[in-house]
Amino acid sequence: MTSRLLAAAVLLAAFAAPASAQLSRDSKLLAPFKPVVEKAAESTVRIKCDDKDCILGTVVDADGYILTKLSELKGVVSVRFADGTEFEATTVAAHKDTDLALLKVDVKGLKPVKFVDTKKIPQGAWVAASGPTSDPVGVGIVSVMTRKLTGRDTVITNPNRGYLGIFPADEKDDDGKLVGAKISELSPGGAAEKAGLKTGDVIVEINGKKIVSESSLRSFLDTVKGGDKIDVKAKRKGEMKDFKVTLGSAPKDRGDIQNAMGSLLSARRTGFPLVLQTDLVVDAKDCGGPVVDLEGNVLGINIARAGRVETWVLPSEVIRPLLPEFKAGKFAPNTTAAEMPSLPLAPAPHAKRTKK
């Protein structure tokens, strides 16, 4: 009965809304969803990076464990709760395939979400994205039922990565060993040319990290964005030279520009194992929180604003099996598979941060 009444209210609001692409943010449409997200909101927190809002998080354990979007984390990470208190967080798991990170804060008695499978959610069903307040951050419908990605969407890329403005090639020594990324061509007016790099230079180090191939150069650029400043070491005719480079942004095609209309897309929005596709209009900084159906059941976590009216949900079926492995330290950050130690379930506490 509750679902039917809510659906009727939503339809009435939808008829009064200006356009379908704007429904997700229309106040008249959002209002009926407050009771729907009420419970999930108690398990939703704001994640801050270097004291700036960067993403949302979802409480998954009463003892201070919180899931969020890995690719958005940088610098000092803290968690702000609805009452305004803040706590520094430790990243205890980092899972590249799903773009999930598990954070730990020294807080007890949190209210974790309870995930339900998405397999029974039909196309066209209403969903709502929870925020840390009583208001939903967006509402919409299921555009495509839970599915595997195909084509270029299967490849993990960062469309907002830093742009150096070069065409690199694999450089090898006399023994055939990869020793750097050689600049075969420069983009006129690009970041590298502006910094003084030339065709034939071999990039061997960036920000203190060794660059041994074209692949390692591309991997580094996926971790930075346009406007970032980097220190580059390059070999020119046997002599090592230092360069300070301000990265540009990769040129966008017409499709990228159209998709970005309305708000900033998520930096990482491809390569997920499964997604539930919705037409939620949710800012990139408001991903990472729970998504619920009309009964308030948590279907998964908003993992990426992928298009103009396209937000992807990482389904519960993917998340639930990973949680025990995350807590056991299987995907500890900055380790290889062979080096992954077992972590304690309660890492050392961090000092409480006061709200500024």
The CATH code of the domain that includes 84 is 2.40.10.120
Distance, CA of 25 to CA of 281 (rounded, Å): 7
The stretches of the chain forming alpha helices (DSSP H) are 2-16, 27-30, 34-41, 191-195, 214-221, 254-260, 316-327
64 and 139 share a domain?
Answer: yes
216 and 269 share a domain?
Answer: no
- Classify residue 245 as exposed, middle or buried by CB count within 10 Å of its CB (0-12, 13-18, 19+): buried
| Domain annotation covers residue 324 | yes
Distance of CA 91 to the CA centre of its chain: 14
| Domain annotation covers residue 157 | no
Rounded to an integer, the average pLDDT of 62-74 is 95
For the chain, give the mean pLDDT: 84
Cα-Cα-Cα-Cα dihedral of 149, 151, 153, 158, to 10°?
A: 150
User: Do 283 and 266 touch, CB atoms closer than 8 A?
Assistant: no
| pLDDT score recorded for residue 104 | 97
244 and 215 share a domain?
Answer: yes
Q: Check pLDDT > 50 for residue 19.
A: no
| Domain annotation covers residue 330 | yes
Q: Check pLDDT > 90 for residue 216.
A: no
| Domain annotation covers residue 156 | no
Structure-block tokens of residue 157: 């890329």
287 and 227 share a domain?
Answer: no
Question: pTM for this one?
Answer: 0.73
| pLDDT score recorded for residue 168 | 83
Count of structural domains, the chain: 2
54 and 111 share a domain?
Answer: yes
| pLDDT score recorded for residue 226 | 86
| pLDDT score recorded for residue 263 | 62
Q: Check pLDDT > 50 for residue 347.
A: no
Q: Check pLDDT > 70 for residue 255.
A: no
Choice between 115 and 220, residue whose per-residue pLDDT is larger? 115
| pLDDT score recorded for residue 159 | 67
27 and 130 share a domain?
Answer: yes
- Would you place residue 210 in the very low, low, confident or very high pLDDT band (cuts 50, 70, 90)? very high
- Would you place residue 356 in the very low, low, confident or very high pLDDT band (cuts 50, 70, 90)? very low
Of 219, 249, 279, which one is at a domain's C-terminal end? 249
Choice between 286 and 157, residue whose per-residue pLDDT is larger? 286
Of 200, 227, 249, which one is at a domain's C-terminal end? 249
33 and 138 share a domain?
Answer: yes
| pLDDT score recorded for residue 103 | 97
The whole domain housing 276 covers: 2-151+263-353
Rounded to an integer, the average pLDDT of 205-230 is 88
131 and 36 share a domain?
Answer: yes
| Range in 132-141, 155-164, 320-329 the model is least confident about | 155-164
26 and 82 share a domain?
Answer: yes
Residue 49, strand partner residues: 52, 77
| Domain annotation covers residue 339 | yes
- Would you place residue 346 in the very low, low, confident or very high pLDDT band (cuts 50, 70, 90)? very low
Rounded to an integer, the average pLDDT of 195-200 is 95
Rounded to an integer, the average pLDDT of 290-300 is 97
What is the domain-level CATH number for residue 214? 2.30.42.10
Cα-Cα-Cα-Cα dihedral of 271, 186, 196, 178, to 10°?
A: 60
Buried b (16+ CB within 10 A) or exposed e, 258-283: ebbebeebbbbbbbbebbbbbbbbbb
Q: Check pLDDT > 80 for residue 348.
A: no
| Domain annotation covers residue 256 | no
Rounded to an integer, the average pLDDT of 248-274 is 71
| Domain annotation covers residue 62 | yes
25 and 107 share a domain?
Answer: yes
69 and 178 share a domain?
Answer: no
- Would you place residue 3 in the very low, low, confident or very high pLDDT band (cuts 50, 70, 90)? low
Cβ-based neighbours of 157, under 8 Å, separated by 6 or more? 222, 270, 271
Distance, CA of 202 to CA of 178 (rounded, Å): 11
Q: Check pLDDT > 70 for residue 42.
A: yes
Of 249, 279, 302, which one is at a domain's C-terminal end? 249
183 and 207 share a domain?
Answer: yes
| Domain annotation covers residue 200 | yes
Q: Check pLDDT > 50 for residue 345.
A: no
